[in-house]
Amino acid sequence: MTEARLVAGVDCSTQATKVVVCDAETGAVLREGRAPHPDGTQVDPAEWWKAWEIASDGLLDGVEAISVGGQQHGMVLLDEAGEVVHPAVLWNDTSSADATVELVEELGGPGAWAEAVGSVPVPSFTVTKLRWVRDADATAPGDAARREASARAAAVVLPHDWMTHRLAADRHGIEGITTDRGDASGTGWWSPATNSYRPDLVELAFGRSLKLPRVAGPAEIVGHTASGAVLAAGTGDNAAAALGLDLQPGDVAVSLGTSGTAFARSTHPTADPTALVAGFADATGEYLPLVCTLNAARVLSATAELLSLDLDAFNEAALTSSGSNGLVLLPFLDGERTPDLPHSTGLIYGLTRATAQPATMARAAVEGLLCGLADAVDALRAQGLPVHRVLLLGGAARSRAVQALAPALLGAEVILPEPAEYVALGAARQAAWALSGADAPPTWHVPVSKPEPSVMSDAVAAQVRALYGQVLTNTVPLLSTPYNR
C-alpha cells in the first residue's frame, strides 16, 4: 500500500490561524490545529507567526507542500530589511474612509477605478490604507507612528504574502516576496483584466513608489521551507475558500462569518462601477466577482445577547415567530462596506408594542442579515452571473433560523457544505496542485446536505425584502453621517 503524500493548508484569518494537513490525492483531513489572533483592526504580524507556530506544532511531520490562504486587503509595510514598520492594518479597519472618498475622486470617479482595476475602492482596500498612512497629521502626537512608517516604508505586502515569505528558508529582506492573482486583485493597484500592476495608483495613494510582490502563477512553487517542503503561491481567503469548495459555474458561495461574502467563479473579468461587486481574480487563473459586507454572524450573536438568549434559544425564538410584522433591522453594527456606509450604525424600524417582543426581534435580525446578503447575490446576477444554487457556509450558516429563511430570501436552492475549514482546505488543495505539477488542481469531494424546507413563502420574502429596501433607501442620508462611537 502506497503511503499518502501529505500537504498542509493554512488559513491566516482575522481571528485565528488554522492549519489542516491533508492527503494530497483525496483531500482527507488527517490533522488539524488552531491558535487565536489578538482582537483589533491593527495587529503586529509577529502575532500571526506566533499563532502559526502554536497551530502547526506537531502537525508537519511528513508534509511535502504548504500553502497559505490569508485575510484579504490587510496592509503590511516593510522597510528595506524586510522589517515591519507599522502594525498591519486589517480589512475591517475603516480609518481610511475619508481617504477612500479622496482617492475615488482623484482618479476620476467610480467608473475610472472599475476600468483600471475591476473594482471601486472601499475602506477595506489596501490602496486606501496607504493614503491613510501617508496623510498622518504632522502636528498630531498620536500620528507619530504613521509618520515614521510612511518615511521608512520600502515595500507593501498582504498578510498571505508576509506569511509565505516568512516561511521561506532562503528569504532576504524584501527580495523574492511573491503574491498571487487572487490576493493582488484586492489591493486596488492590480488589474485582473490585464494581469498587471498599476504602480501609478500606488504613487497616487502614497506619493511615491513602493516595491510590490511578484505575482506568481496559480500552481507555481515559490520557495521551500527550512524542512524542504514546497511553498505554493498561496492566495486570499475568499479565493482559497472557492478552491476548497470546488465552486462550479452557477454556484454562489454565501459565507456568514465575521464578514458576509457572496462570490462566484467567472470565466471573464467584471468591472462594476456601482462598487457593489469587486472584480477579483480567483486562485485558478479565472475570476471571482465578490460582494462583501462587514456584518454577518455577529449580528445574530449581538441580538441574542441583547435579548438575553443563548444562540439555541435565539434560533427557536426566530422560528416560532409568525414573522417580523414590519420590524426591520438594518444590521450595520460595525459600519458597512456594501453598501458603502463606513460611518453607519445599526437601525431598528417599525418598533411598536406589538413588535417589541423577543421572538419578533430575533426574526428581524435573521431577516436583516439575509436581506443584506440577498442584495449581494442580486448584484452578482446583475453582472450576468447565473445563480442556480447557493452554498451556505460559515458560523452563522449553522443557525436553523438562517437555514429556514435563506432559500426564499436568497431566491435560489440552498445547500449546506459540511462544516469545514474551507480556506485552509483550499490552500491545501493548492499545495497539492503545486506538488503534483498537474495542469489542474486535484479533485477533492465536498460533502453537502440540504436544509429543512423553507418556512417562508416567496410572496412573504418579496414583502420583507421590499420593506428592507425602502428603509435602507430612506435612511441612507442619516446612516452616511459620521457617528462618534
The owner of cell 503561491 is 233
Would you give the end-to-end CA distance of the chain in angstroms?
62
Radius of gyration of the chain, Cα coordinates, nearest whole angstrom: 22
Q: Active-site residue numbers?
A: 237
Contact by Cβ (8 Å): 238, 259: no
The owner of cell 444554487 is 389
Three cell numbers, residue 415: 445547500
Q: Is 73 annotated as a binding residue?
A: yes
Q: Is 165 annotated as a binding residue?
A: no
Rounded Cα–Cα distance for residues 391 and 398 (Å): 12
Give just the sign of the alpha carbon dihedral 185, 188, 192, 195: negative
Binding annotation for substrate: 72-73
Binding annotation: 72-73
